[in-house]
Amino acid sequence: MKNDNEAIRAEGIVKRFGDLTVLRGVSLAVKRGEVVCIMGPSGSGKSTLLRCLNWLSPPTEGTVWLAGEVLGTQETPNGTRVPLPDSKLRRQRSRIGMVFQSFNLWPHRTAIGNVMEGPMIVSGITKSEARRLATEILTRVGLTEKADVYPAKLSGGQQQRVAIARALAMQPEIILFDEPTSALDPELVGEVLDVMKSLATQEITMIVVTHEVGFAKDAADRILFMDEGLIVEEGSPSEFLENPKEERSRQFLERYLN
């Protein structure tokens, strides 16, 4: 399983909610610096997969490795696997960033406050160091002048860029994006995608659930197509977007390309 070049690997991920099986055995591996886009119809399990990958919602079956290290569980001396103690799980989670469709900024903290929170409270660096780091990261997402503004006074695009900065501030090994632009007005989508494209060129490992075909074409190394809880097709952007093999992919793309 050990592969130095691998940021994250998942094998046989099954997720059930009661009687409902949402993921039916998903496996994937993402190399360091790789950008993988996940597409698929609504309800196919894309969000659920991302939430399994950072153990926000632990899978029912299957294993996830973060840089070769098993996520969320540990082996006991007698060979069974048990949930990892909370403190260790938290340390693993801090290595995986997540950007949500609905931003989820903390409304009682300013833009910079949101970005500083992780380094200060989770990593335990001093406030002044955290401020310096956060300022630098806000510059990277083009929001230097909005540092002291509360989220409610920011546009959706700006909020999402702050959320990206918040994830970046933990210096994660990989960032998961769950439809980062689908809650945005069309004219605000571009500024967020531009930030994400610049991250893609900076060798940041990303898994992006998105229906933005343009972004996938420009930034992705690989596209995974999900349907009914399985990855049904996988390929380079040009292969997948121009010449999908599966009928389901073709139908899906027809809807989104037009």
Ligand X SMILES: Nc1ncnc2c1ncn2[C@@H]1O[C@H](COP(=O)(O)OP(=O)(O)OP(=O)(O)O)[C@@H](O)[C@H]1O
The residue within the footprint of other proteins, chosen from 36, 116, 170, 224 (CB under 8 A), is: 170
Q: Is 46 in the site for ligand X (CB under 6 A)?
A: yes
Nearest residue (CB) to other proteins, 161 versus 166:
166
Q: Is 127 in the site for other proteins (CB under 8 A)?
A: no
DSSP 8-state assignment for residue 43: T
The residue within the footprint of Mg ion, chosen from 13, 23, 40, 47 (CB under 5 A), is: 47
Distance CA 167, CA 118 (A): 8
Q: Is 54 in the site for Mg ion (CB under 5 A)?
A: no
Shortest CB 67 distance to other proteins, Å: 15
Q: Is 239 in the site for other proteins (CB under 8 A)?
A: no
- What is the distance of C-alpha 258 from the center of its chain? 26
Q: Is 91 in the site for other proteins (CB under 8 A)?
A: yes
Stretch that binds other proteins, among 15-23, 24-32, 101-109, 190-198 (CB under 8 A): 101-109
The H or E element spanning position 35 is: strand 35-39
Alpha-carbon distances of 31 from 73, 221, 239, rounded to whole Å: 22, 10, 19
Q: Is 44 in the site for Mg ion (CB under 5 A)?
A: no
Nearest residue (CB) to ligand X, 116 versus 189:
189
Segments in the chain forming alpha helices (H): 46-53, 86-93, 111-117, 127-140, 156-168, 186-201, 213-219, 237-242, 247-257
Pattern 9-48, other proteins, x by CB under 8 A: ----------------------------------------
DSSP state letters, 178-243: ESTTTTS-HHHHHHHHHHHHHHHHTT--EEEE---HHHHHHH-SEEEEEETTEEEEEE-HHHHHHS
Q: Is 167 in the site for other proteins (CB under 8 A)?
A: yes
Q: Largest Cα–Cα distance of the chain, in whole Å?
A: 57
Tokens found for residue 6: 């691998």
Strand partners, 61: 14
45 binds, among ligand X, Mg ion, other proteins, none (CB under 5 to 8 A by kind): ligand X
Residues that contact other proteins, how many (by CB under 8 A): 34
Distance CA 128, CA 116 (A): 10
Q: Is 161 in the site for other proteins (CB under 8 A)?
A: no
Q: Is 48 in the site for ligand X (CB under 6 A)?
A: yes
Nearest residue (CB) to ligand X, 42 versus 80:
42
Alpha-carbon distances of 179 from 48, 73, 79, 189, 193, rounded to whole Å: 12, 28, 39, 11, 11
- Interacting residues toward ligand X by CB under 6 A: 17, 20, 22, 40, 42-48
- Interacting residues toward other proteins by CB under 8 A: 54, 56, 86-87, 90-98, 100, 102, 104-110, 117-118, 121-122, 150-153, 163, 166-167, 170
- Interacting residues toward Mg ion by CB under 5 A: 47
